[in-house]
Amino acid sequence: MIKFSRKTEYALIAIQYIANKGITEFSTAKEISDNYNISYELLAKILQRLAKNNIITSTKGVNGGYKFLKSPDDVTLSEIIESLNESYALTRCLKKNRPNKTDCQIADCCTLKNPVAIIQNRLNIFFDDITIRHLM
């Protein structure tokens, strides 16, 4: 069923860590990596993507690192997942931004697409309602 990817799990761990430090204190990828035994290289890429998508901000230098750009109340679970180019779609045909919408062999006779789309819509609403504050 629904399972977060490793990238999403690491992003959520890092976001939670950064959020718990507050809006004034920076956290480094190395610090988070060491605290949670997460691959530094993968975590650094995840944090860069989150910064690129304006979820966190990064500052270079000796006292630099990452901190929240927005309030944890204003960042949703769906924003984080989508910023990583990940998906939580129940089926391939319901993935957002699918490049090839005609890749399903049973699209013409599928009887599940509409009922599953209703479930997917509810899941989207749920993920849009979960904020980082809920994870703190």
What's the confidence (pLDDT) of residue 93? Answer: 72
Flag the least confident range among 53-57, 77-81, 90-94, 125-129.
Answer: 90-94
Q: What is the rounded distance in angstroms from the CA atom of residue 42 to the CA atom of residue 48?
A: 10
Look up the CATH number of domain 6-135.
1.10.10.10
Break the chain into its structural domains and give their ranges. Answer: 6-135
pLDDT at 2 over 80: no
pTM: 0.80
List C-alpha distances in Å: 115 to 3, 4, 97, 104, 120: 20, 23, 20, 17, 9
On the CB side of 110, CA atoms within 13 Å amount to: 16
Q: What is the rounded distance in angstroms from the CA atom of residue 72 to the CA atom of residue 23?
A: 9
Q: Are 51 and 66 in contact (CB under 8 A)?
A: yes
Displacement of CA 100 from its chain's centroid (Å): 23
Q: What is the rounded distance in angstroms from the CA atom of residue 5 to the CA atom of residue 8?
A: 5
Quote the percentage of the chain above a pLDDT of 70.
90
3-state secondary structure 61-128: CCCCEEEECCCHHHCEHHHHHHHCCCCCCCCHHHCCCCCCCCCCCCCCCCCCHHHHHHHHHHHHHHHH
